[in-house]
Structure 1
Amino acid sequence: MLLKQVSYWLARIGLAFFISFSVVACGDHSTEVVFGGKTMGTTYNVKYLADSKLDLPSPDEVQKVLDRTLQEVNRQMSTYQKDSEISRFNQLQQADTPFAIAPEFGKVVEEAIRLNQVTEGALDITVGPLVNLWGFGPENRPDKAPTEQEIQDRRTWVGIEKLHLDKQDGQYQLRKSVPNLYIDLSAIAKGFGVDQLASYLDSLHIEHYMVEIGGEVRAKGLNKEGKAWQIAIEKPEFDGSRAVQQIIGLQNMAMATSGDYRNYFEQDGVRFSHEIDPKTGKPIGHNLVSITVLSPSCMTADGLATGLFVLGADKALEIAEKNKLAVYLIIKTNNGFEIKMSSAFKPMLAQ
């Protein structure tokens, strides 16, 4: 996704990236801890204020736990790991055969199914075969766009109604009604990873932190200056340059952005976005270039950002107002970029 805490793809404002942790003394008997690393094909960054009154593990020990947490998310939900739970389910060729999955995996699928309804089918975690066909998944990118017949053939594999999630006594099982059903959680898993890291920091009673994975962010409390965490929404630039469109004061909230101006390919002068509309089987072609969503859960914000982006500006705003969602849209026009936002987002600009 395309939201940046001021140095993921941008030069960061207020967050430097460190592979090893750094510790800076602050006022009010607290210490600022900053560290980061690699995960999910991108980077993660964590920043928190360690109150001296708390009996906290060392920053190195905290990072080790967070790294193990992210490794477990990948073990369950990475389509790039052939032995992950999701990969083994995708490889299963028997229809209507129960496949046991971890509770965390089940909760993510459960939320994805719910958000499919909220976004009127636009967020569809079974769209993976089409994403792969267009060259934006683990399969190698084709030299040219697929044929109409190839698209229609793959569409028979796609549809949330072909995926069944069973839950009993906290245990989850998946079933598929067609052998070639393939699920891809890339639209929601990074957000879930952010929530998992935040949950661990909460368990330590840390009151002030910021967690980011690949641009998806969740923040609690205040930064070391005593202000809401300053998070940047990137201004779309098609020439590869970086610029800030808007700074948001994020406090006790998560934030995720989806856009198509970074990940695409061109053929014969036609630009193909990585965002695939499950209703057509083809890349989206509207003028919405970026949408940012705020939610208490980063998993929810992440999934909504993808689904609403697929729908385009007008429908996204309609759904946002109906469901009281906080969304910020950047729309390309003949005269540059136009900004729109939902009623629930406007109060965030004052922070």
Structure 2
Amino acid sequence: MISVAKAVVDLPKAALALLFLFLVACAREPEAVIRLDGQTMGTTYHVTLINPGNLHGDELKRQLDYQLQHFNQIASTYIDDSELNTLNRASIGEWLPVSEPLFNILSLAVEVSWLTGGAFDITVAPLVDLWGFGPRKRQGKPSAEEIEAEMAKVGFNRLELDMLEPKLRKTAALQMDLSAIAKGYGVDAAAIWLESLGVTDYLVEIGGEMRVAGKSPRGDAWRIGVENPGADSDAMLAIELGDIAVATSGDYRNYFEEDGVRYSHTIDPRTGSPITHRLASVTVLDASCAFADAMATGFSVLGAERTLKLAEASDIPVYLLEKTEQGFVARYSSAFKPYLPVATPNTAVEGEQ
């Protein structure tokens, strides 16, 4: 995997987040806690620093906002003159230089595409638009002819990356969209920046994707809850984390129905149509939030069985919620098992070995 640590930390929408942090009140919270909040990438960010030394919140927020704005200028599809949109407008066959941060994220995206057999693909945007889940709003199911026409504009293998320059060219009229990986990358870059300032205990969260290190404000490990979409908050799975990143992708809230058929917003780039399996939520743990972010999307396309098979082969901690006739059932890979609590009340857990 391309390490985000190699990116220039000059820093710089995706599935609705299914994670939130349990910041349980306690009697003795460390005196030095800085919390930063703001908006970026069409969503919100939250940063918590514990014992930040001589660092000051106002100055940290100013620098973080600047870096996130800079990253948006590189990777956003909503900024007309962003670097990514410049590449999207480039002629077929034209080699163009790419900045180091954008090249790193594109390289990682292509790596995840190969790993998932094309289930993750940053060129899927034309199909998302066609089905009415993108900026171009439309109603109803598209025709087979329309799907075929848009499929000609999709395919990560039609991107060529020159690892020496770095530069890129397209061999088809591709439109790249980094919404399923950019938030994770932004989290990683912000975390690396904080570490460069000497911060060892922190949480960085952008749009639900997060990375933690060290201790929480309670003085113990950071704790998160994984939402069960079929139950109330008491059915959440609470897990404690070490120095790791977490990303979640979910399918059950964004869809439309036509003639009694439910069409998910999650589009399979390999078929051009929404997924039809019952996997509702995927949570992935990894040292890299960008990798976890992208893999959560890829796994959401693959479905539970293929996800667990790939996760076992690649030793990836993954936790799934699958819709059944009896409700939502949780399954997980062997690598996720150490993160499970000893007792998991109100949550049906099926381990997959």
TM-score by length of 2: 0.88
Of 316, 340, 352 in structure 2, the residue corresponding to residue 325 of structure 1 is 316
1:208 Cα deviation from its structure 2 partner: 0.5
1:88 Cα deviation from its structure 2 partner: 1.7
1:167 Cα deviation from its structure 2 partner: 2.5
Please say if 1:216 is aligned against 2:209.
Answer: yes
Judged with a 3 Å threshold, the aligned counterparts in structure 2 of structure 1 residues 320 and 159 are, in CA distance, closer, same or farther, namely same
Q: What letter is aligned with 1:33? A: I
What's 1:44 paired with? 45
What's 2:148 paired with? 152
What's 2:331 paired with? 340
Q: What letter is aligned with 2:202? A: Y
Asked whether the equivalents of residues 232 and 244 of structure 1 are also in contact (C-alpha less than 8 Å), the reply is no
1:3 Cα deviation from its structure 2 partner: 3.9
Judged with a 3 Å threshold, the aligned counterparts in structure 2 of structure 1 residues 337 and 25 are, in CA distance, closer, same or farther, namely closer
Please say if 1:285 is aligned against 2:291.
Answer: no
1:192 Cα deviation from its structure 2 partner: 0.2
Please say if 1:33 is aligned against 2:31.
Answer: no
Q: Distance in 2 between matches of 1:340 and 1:312?
A: 12
Q: Distance in 2 between matches of 1:4 and 1:203?
A: 30
Q: Distance in 2 between matches of 1:42 and 1:60?
A: 21
What's 1:202 paired with? 195
Judged with a 3 Å threshold, the aligned counterparts in structure 2 of structure 1 residues 43 and 102 are, in CA distance, closer, same or farther, namely same
1:132 Cα deviation from its structure 2 partner: 1.5
Q: What letter is aligned with 2:195? A: D
Q: Distance in 1 between matches of 2:297 and 2:245?
A: 15
Q: Distance in 1 between matches of 2:274 and 2:41?
A: 23
Judged with a 3 Å threshold, the aligned counterparts in structure 2 of structure 1 residues 107 and 244 are, in CA distance, closer, same or farther, namely farther
What's 1:111 paired with? 108
Of 179, 182, 190 in structure 2, the residue corresponding to residue 186 of structure 1 is 179
Which blocks of at least 5 consecutive residues in structure 2 are unaligned? 1-14, 343-353
Asked whether the equivalents of residues 2 and 234 of structure 1 are also in contact (C-alpha less than 8 Å), the reply is no
What's 2:22 paired with? 13
What do residues 284-309 of structure 1 show as CA deviations (whole Å, max 9, x unaligned)?
A: 01011011000000000000000011
What's 1:248 paired with? 239
Q: What letter is aligned with 2:147? A: I
What's 2:133 paired with? 136
1:137 Cα deviation from its structure 2 partner: 2.1
Q: How does 1:238-317 map to 2 (within 5 A)?
A: 245-317=236-308
Structural RMSD (CA): 2.0
Please say if 1:120 is aligned against 2:117.
Answer: yes
Q: Distance in 2 between matches of 1:192 and 1:175?
A: 22
Q: Distance in 2 between matches of 1:14 and 1:121?
A: 37
Asked whether the equivalents of residues 238 and 341 of structure 2 are also in contact (C-alpha less than 8 Å), the reply is no
Q: What letter is aligned with 1:105? A: L
Of 155, 159, 163 in structure 1, the residue corresponding to residue 159 of structure 2 is 163
Q: What letter is aligned with 1:267? A: E
TM-score by length of 1: 0.88
Asked whether the equivalents of residues 291 and 330 of structure 1 are also in contact (C-alpha less than 8 Å), the reply is yes
1:236 Cα deviation from its structure 2 partner: 1.3
Which blocks of at least 5 consecutive residues in structure 1 are unaligned? 7-11, 17-23
1:50 Cα deviation from its structure 2 partner: 2.4
What's 2:170 paired with? 176
Q: Distance in 2 between matches of 1:25 and 1:338?
A: 37
Judged with a 3 Å threshold, the aligned counterparts in structure 2 of structure 1 residues 71 and 132 are, in CA distance, closer, same or farther, namely same
Judged with a 3 Å threshold, the aligned counterparts in structure 2 of structure 1 residues 77 and 322 are, in CA distance, closer, same or farther, namely same
What's 2:348 paired with? none
Judged with a 3 Å threshold, the aligned counterparts in structure 2 of structure 1 residues 211 and 115 are, in CA distance, closer, same or farther, namely same
Judged with a 3 Å threshold, the aligned counterparts in structure 2 of structure 1 residues 193 and 26 are, in CA distance, closer, same or farther, namely same
1:217 Cα deviation from its structure 2 partner: 0.8
Judged with a 3 Å threshold, the aligned counterparts in structure 2 of structure 1 residues 280 and 243 are, in CA distance, closer, same or farther, namely farther
| Identical aligned residues as a percent | 44
1:25 Cα deviation from its structure 2 partner: 8.8
1:44 Cα deviation from its structure 2 partner: 0.6
What do residues 126-145 of structure 1 show as CA deviations (whole Å, max 9, x unaligned)?
A: 11111121122222x10212
Q: What letter is aligned with 1:311? A: L
1:279 Cα deviation from its structure 2 partner: 1.2
1:242 Cα deviation from its structure 2 partner: 6.4
What do residues 216-257 of structure 1 show as CA deviations (whole Å, max 9, x unaligned)?
A: 01000111212211111111149xx86752112122000001
Please say if 1:86 is aligned against 2:84.
Answer: yes
- How many aligned residue pairs are there? 327
What do residues 41-88 of structure 1 show as CA deviations (whole Å, max 9, x unaligned)?
A: 11110011124xx332x1111111111121122111111111111112
1:327 Cα deviation from its structure 2 partner: 0.2
